[in-house]
Structure formats: structure tokens, C-alpha cells
Amino acid sequence: MSLNVRDMKSKNMAPKGGATSGSASSGKAVAKIGSAHQRNPGFELDLDWVDRIVMNRSALERRAATIGARRTVKKQYQAAWLLKAITLIDLTTLNSDDTNGRVRRLCAKAKNPVRRDILQALGANDLPIRPGAVCVYHNFVATAVEALEGTNIPVAAVSTAFPHGLTPLDIRLREIKASVKAGAKEIDIVIERSQVLNQDWQGLYDQIKAFREACGDAHIKTILGTGELATQTNVAKASLVCMLAGADFIKTSTGKEKVNANLVTSLSMVRMIREFYQKTKIEIGYKPAGGISSAKSALTYMALMKEELGIKWLEPHLFRFGASSLLTDIERQLEHQVTGRYAADYRQPMV
């Protein structure tokens, strides 16, 4: 079955019955990576606003249960959404046994994320299908920058003593600056979870401001470690404090916690993004990370973003998946669209 390029532009590129809070773009559905938008300048810490935030977990759970059950896309529309999903992936390797060779192979995959014969069969070989970024440890930033030269794919570095964030502050700040100097365009920092658990909002705000300043022109994604924050109210309050301090993205997890990204936590975070936008007119990005490994899950998260924030948030400068294996399943689904058969994983090797 062939996918006509018109399907990538159609207003029908939406889950059936989806919300109408955003209209479809008249241009190509796959946006250029790094689309320009007003960066978050940061605001003064408003403790009255933080104190007013309360999340109803039961209501969030009821809402989350409806998203995957009601929102489906089929056939050529599913293929279009999955191609779109690739452009939203931070292609990631954060393993203790990472090597320069593995990072180079990951970057090669980033440059050609889907086999050419599959793209050609889908009628999508001329579309700019590239991941949102390649995410690595600081030690491999220079390797990734060199491997991606000329592609316009940014390198993201995890920083600030990832994944725990518990080294002295001056060391974390130096790590950020070193990654930026090495060529990282995005920095994924981790917060100190104890500041949230102790309700030390001033301390959290001050640290994120310092991290943002150290990032300079590089965009900052703040990892909350939501599985360790105890309550959805804590998740929402931490999200707000990070945005007030100047975060460009808020991100769920390091991928190393026992509980990583899920729809309930995602609702808490994206609703704070919505409230922040309504009050400041600043668009903040969202990055769920950890455990998102299937194409079906990716489509569900995309439906959530469209319904809660609008179609404009389905662009790489406002939404990313933090994933290492998601691309493999998306490729398998795309090949199924073409051949009617599911391929073995090894036919779409990552590294």
C-alpha cells in the first residue's frame, strides 16, 4: 500500500474524534527541526501561584484511561503519524558501556532513520524525516557533533550529574558549560528531587536559573524524575517552578527510575504547560522519557498532546520522545504498511 505525500499534509492526520483546539498546518506536516519560536525568558518566582496548584489524581487517571482507548488512526493516516513521530524522537544512548563507535552508529541511524525502500514505497522519500536530536553523555558530545555535521540534527547532552543530580552545584554548572563548548545545542539537566519533596521551591528555582544561565544559547530541558516526586501535585508544582525559572522543556524522567513516563503524569505536566501559556503566552516543550518503546504508545502520546495543547505542539521544538528503542517498532509498523508482514527487529538495527 502506498502513502501519498498529500496524506502528510491532510487535516485528516488526526486521531478520529480528536479535539479541535488546533488547526492543521497548510505546509508539510514534518516541520524543520529547530523551528523558530519565542524562547522562555524566565519569570519571577510566584509562590502564591505555586501554592494554588492542586492535582486530582483520580480525575487524571479517568482522563488518561480514555486517550488510548478512543483515539486510533488507521492505514495511510497511521503511516503519516508514525513518520511524524520519528521527527519527535530524541534518539538516545545512555548506557554505561557506550563507546564512540556506538555513538557514531547511532548518528548514522539518525541520518537515515527509515530504510529508503520503505520510504519510497510510502511515497515519502522526499520528506525530511529526521529525529529531533541525538542524546548522549557529555563524553560523547564531540563525537556526535562530528558525526552529524551538515545534517542540522542537534546534539543533546545529559548533564548535572545525570541521573541523580547530587554532585556539588559548581561541578554541575561546569559540566553544562563543557557540553555547550563541545557543541551540544540542548542540555537535559536533572533537578534535585529532595527540593521538591521538601517544598524548597526557592532553592529549585535558583538552581534552574543558574543552569539556564550556564546553558547560554543551548536549550534547557529540565528532568523532574517524576516517579520519585510522590504526588501529582508535586509534579505539577515542580513543572511550574522550572518553567518560571526559564526551562525550555519539562521532561518526565531520566529513564533510570522505577517509574518513568506515563499518561497520568503527562497530563499533570502538559496541563501546567497549558496554564503557563495562558498566563504568559510562552510555549514550553514537553518530553516524556523512559518506557516509550512501541509505536502504539507514541500515537497515544501524540493524541494526548493534540487534545490537551493543540496541533501546534506536535512539532520538534515543542514535543520530543526520549527513547532508545521506539524507532525500531515504528520501522516495523511502517514495513507492515508496505508489505503486510511484521519484520524481525534485526531488519531495523539501531546500533
How far is the CA of 98 from the CAs of 84, 136, 260, 345, in angstroms?
28, 9, 22, 21
Tell me the Ramachandran region of residue 123: left when phi exceeds 0, alpha when psi lies from -120 to 50, beta otherwise: left
| Cβ(337)–Cβ(3) below 8 Å | yes
Side-chain half-sphere of 51: how many Cα atoms within 13 Å? 4
Name the nearest CA neighbour of 264 among 130, 51, 66, 19.
Answer: 66
74 vs 301: CA distance, rounded Å: 16
196 vs 219: CA distance, rounded Å: 23
Per DSSP, the three-state class of 199 is coil
287 an active-site residue?
Answer: yes
Name the nearest CA neighbour of 248 among 156, 139, 329, 115.
Answer: 156
328 vs 344: CA distance, rounded Å: 10
51 an active-site residue?
Answer: no
Decide the pairing of beta strands 155-158 and 133-137. Answer: parallel
133-146 per-residue burial string, b: 16 or more CB within 10 A, e: under 16: bbbbbbebbbbbbe
251 an active-site residue?
Answer: yes
Catalytic residue among 251, 306, 312, 329: 251
| Cβ(334)–Cβ(78) below 8 Å | no
Catalytic residue among 109, 221, 237, 287: 287
Name the nearest CA neighbour of 10 among 83, 115, 112.
Answer: 83
Catalytic residue among 7, 188, 248, 329: 188
Furthest-apart CA atoms within the chain: distance in Å: 57
Radius of gyration of the chain (CA): 19
Task: Give the distance from CA 226 to its chain's centroid.
Answer: 15
Residues 6+ apart with CB under 8 A from 37: 283, 317, 318
Catalytic site residues?
A: 188, 251, 287
